[in-house]
A and B are shown apart, each in its own frame.
Chain A
């Protein structure tokens, strides 16, 4: 498959270079990026399938999702981060059409790759951390963390040549990124760098106020009295 993908990329690259010489690089790039075919391919590649709808997560599915998420998080998981991730799973699945199915697809893809690499194991969630990391690496190798315009030609070629490319992009964008975003946006992410107050969470008056030089910090009752 790797050889086939390489040859496909090479042919596409040579064709693009030859056309660039004739039509002009910028004009060709603009035509290429705005073409309906590319737009459709990009949409299919980077979007969840909204037709699958939204819905709640069963306890079993939630357990399976958390088992995959654990490998993405630090080995010492902050409880605030765990709550944030689980809450995010529930909210996304219920409110954003397509995400519930994207989560299911992500778990099934990791399970499928687990069985391929470790035939005695049945589920990704049952693997030791080291082996789970190997499975994830093999699935996410070469997948950019976020969709990038300059990656479009490579994406399009891989989309048409690799049978699992779309699923692996989905795993990265609609599962891995969702888990990391929920965890590191929460207090757990900020605690990692020593912050207990951060944008959006000021922590109350005492956390960020400083009395004028030579003055003592006002008491809570004095602050309350001055604001009424």
Chain B
């Protein structure tokens, strides 16, 4: 039972970190993109 806590905990920790990284990058991308003209965005 103790093993299950560690195993599930390691998955939860990993995926929470990935979600947090994604959210942080997407949020700052949206915030900055609102202030920059589209012609300056090389990816568009």
A and B are interacting partners: no
